[in-house]
Amino acid sequence: MKIAHFDLEQPHTFIIAELSANHGNSLETAKETIRAAKKAGADAIKLQTYTADTLTIDCNTEDFVLKGGTLWDNKTLYELYQEAYTPWEWHEELFACAKEEGLLCFSTPFDKSAVDFLEQFNPPAYKIASFEVSDYALVRYVASKKRPIIISTGIATLEEIEDVVRICKEEGNEEIVLLQCTSAYPAPLENANLLMIPDLQERFGVVAGFSDHTLGITAPVMAVALGAKVIEKHFILDKSIGGADASFSLDVEAFSQMSKAVREAEKLRGEVHYHHEPHTIKGRQFARSLYVTKEIQKSEVFTEENIRSIRPGYGLHPKHLGEVLGKRASKHLHKGERLTWEMLV
């Protein structure tokens, strides 16, 4: 599976920097953040495309007021989204800026009008936020555009995940990435449930990854070790910018550290094989093998006194010791010679 030129079948993990609300209501800050994301090791920048009116209504009754220990308690949904949204008129410049930096750029649409708007930029993929997984009509519409679709599982039930995967396939779109995600901001480490990553891949036969809301960089690195091919992390130029997502976003230094650690984790993950690499073969000098440990005359019998299993490992394998003992030497042998089959009669 590819997202534009990026081949998700290769060992290289697809690292997405989530711009989200981390622009401080400044187009220049948003563009500077994109440039910084490239330097910090991101492969893509992701936007969110909505307005307060496409997500909710301007209402302050109890149902619409945030509560329950969120970062945004006592704000109305409308107030939160009005503060956090990325103006649609910025998108053209943001897509262009990303292209100049060599970053892929795509977005999370939150309604059909956002999808229609984003199509003009020919995005390499679409993202479905976990809170929108239950909006089957939106998922179907996005899938119908035949672009790779990245879906955060977050609050989704198993039935909902099964449904949206089926919906995508019904639309002829099998370019699906499922991201393990904990929809808490920030998410406690003990709730990350990273073992979901290999399960999502095996259960649904799709590419699996991780959308991270934990603090720090441990979780995404562990996710890569468990097979995540996509990592999404909120990115902010500087936490002093503030905003709805600043507290659980990585700044430039931390994101750079994460990118470096992810690349190291890719190397550590390696591949399953049982053949020897050159450095492993070289290490045989510290293995054991059969050597002549005492001068042996021609036709003399091999015994535990003149043949031993010792380091290095260049002689016969120690498993052959029983076969060698009791045989006779085919020629005169000197102490320190590696034992070979040709030395036996």
Q: What is the pLDDT of residues 76-120, one digit of tens each?
A: 999 999 999 999 999 999 999 999 999 999 999 999 999 999 999
Q: Dihedral through CA 29, CA 35, CA 41, CA 42, nearest 10?
A: 70
pLDDT tens-place string over residues 110-146: 999 999 999 999 999 999 999 999 999 999 999 999 9
Report the pLDDT averaged over residues 6-25: 95
219: enclosing H helix or E strand: helix 218-225
Residue 174 lies in a domain: yes
CATH number at residue 180: 3.20.20.70
Report the pLDDT averaged over residues 329-340: 98
The whole-number pLDDT of residue 283 equals 65
Residue 300 clears pLDDT 70, i.e. is over it: yes
* Residue carrying the six token digits 């009669």: 345
Q: Could you tell me the residue range of the domain that residue 45 belongs to?
A: 9-50+85-269
Residues in the chain: 345
Long-range contacts (CB closer than 8 Å, 24 or more residues apart) made by 136-140: 136/163, 136/164, 136/167, 137/112, 138/109, 138/110, 138/111, 138/112, 139/164, 139/167, 139/168, 140/167, 140/170, 140/171
Residue 327 clears pLDDT 70, i.e. is over it: yes
Domain C-terminal end among 269, 299, 321: 269
Q: Please list the residues that pair with 178 across neighbouring strands.
A: 151, 208
Residue 280 clears pLDDT 80, i.e. is over it: no
| Separation of CA 318 from chain center | 43
Name the percent of the chain lying above pLDDT 90.
91
User: What band does 244 get if pLDDT is binned at 50, 70 and 90?
Assistant: confident
Task: Indicate if 223 and 301 belong to the same structural domain.
Answer: no
Query: Taking a C-beta distance cutoff of 8 angstroms, is the pair 218, 188 a contact?
Result: no
Question: Judging by DSSP bridges, how do beta strands 307-310 and 289-292 pair with one another?
Answer: antiparallel
Domain C-terminal end among 219, 242, 269: 269
